[in-house]
Amino acid sequence: MVTVLAALTAVGPSVHSVSLAPSLPTGGYVALGDSYASGVGAPPYAKGTDVQVENGNKCKRATAAYAHQVADKTGKTLDFGACAGAWTKHFYEARTPWKEPAQLDHLDASTGLVTFSIGGNDAGFAKILSECATQPPFSNCSSDKEVTEPVDSTIDALAGKGKQAGVYSYDTIMTDIATRAPNATVVAVGYPRMFTRQGGKGGPVPGRCQGLAKVDQRWINARTNELNTALRATAQRHGYQFTDPSGSFAGHELCGKQTSWFDGLLDDGRFHPNAAGHKAMASSIMNTLNNRQAAQEQPAAAQAQVDNTRPAGSFTLARDGDQLSLDASASTDADGAIAGIDWYVQHADGTEEVLTGARATTTVPADEQVSVTAVVTDNQGKEDFTTQVSAAG
């Protein structure tokens, strides 16, 4: 994902660090992907990859990126092909002005290990995060179809459930990795969730986390989960490994209880893992490599999560004086059951109230405009977001 502004270095993670080198095929290590793999947010960057002139190479390959740590722990020579701003198309297309080959061209029959993180830029997460952080009250990203529909269609395309110009499915990418590097162990690296489930507050915008309302924090987490689910299912279908670093980041999300392992809104690596975050990602990858024989979710079960239909949220909103009554009991799930309903009530002063249950009531002054989002969760964890804005009476 793309970056904007001075980096923040956090204390090192306390996650378990694996020092034992796993048994891997002979050959070098190739690290591919976008800025989450290249190390934006964890400077310094390698010479020639942060050239601030027109057409200068801006891949921003950090010396603290997880790829270097994995190379050190496995004893393998690193071929670092990941590059900031990469889309799936850059696995196939050269970035000529930067003198960067197509990323898959780094692979050959001698490759022994491959890691890759890709798809976030195709989904537009970098742009969306920046725009969500500057949204005024009642203009949440999660309620804007011009934002949500392109994200949802891109995730479907990555999962192979549809097609979108310029987006290569995970299945296509992994099929081509297998062709080019038939002897390699391959690890698909998921994106760590950026926010706590409850949502948090902190940063330059009062009442929000690095500029984002709680409902948008939850929406971004939900779509991150869907992207990771598609990546996991495809990796397992191809017999590859998948690692989800989110567990390693627990408590260290933005506005979490402990020091954040992400750069915030005003940092150079805006909304990217910092050096501590990359240490956690490296540990997650090494744990996966050292436990390749451990029982994993079966491909069919993982694919079932991808195929699961998002629930259809629906609710009524009624005002009687200062009382606001909400009812989402008409929400449905075509292939399962509704497991939970949460409400995000945004008041005119910018404060946000969170309620739970199919029906809920709260107090809102009759002369105050209010925005309400119902988050409907199904029995497989997929979430739908539905918003209504009620004008002042």
Distance CA 341, CA 334 (A): 16
What would the DSSP string read from start to end of 254-282?
Answer: BT-SS--SB--TTSTTTTSB-HHHHHHHH
Contact 277, 42 (CB under 8 A): yes
Annotated catalytic residue within 68, 238, 272, 278: 272
What would the DSSP string read from start to end of 332-360?
Answer: B-TTS-EEEEEEEEE-TTS-EEEEESSEE
- Residues forming beta bridges with residue 375, ordered by sequence position: 342, 385
Distance CA 387, CA 373 (A): 4
Classify residue 53 by its DSSP letter.
Answer: S
Contact 328, 358 (CB under 8 A): yes
**35 classed as catalytic:** yes
**90 classed as catalytic:** no
Task: Give the three-class secondary structure for 246.
Answer: helix
Beta strand ranges found along the chain (DSSP E): 28-33, 78-80, 111-117, 185-189, 241-243, 316-320, 323-327, 338-346, 352-356, 359-363, 370-378, 383-390
Residue numbers annotated as active site: 35, 272
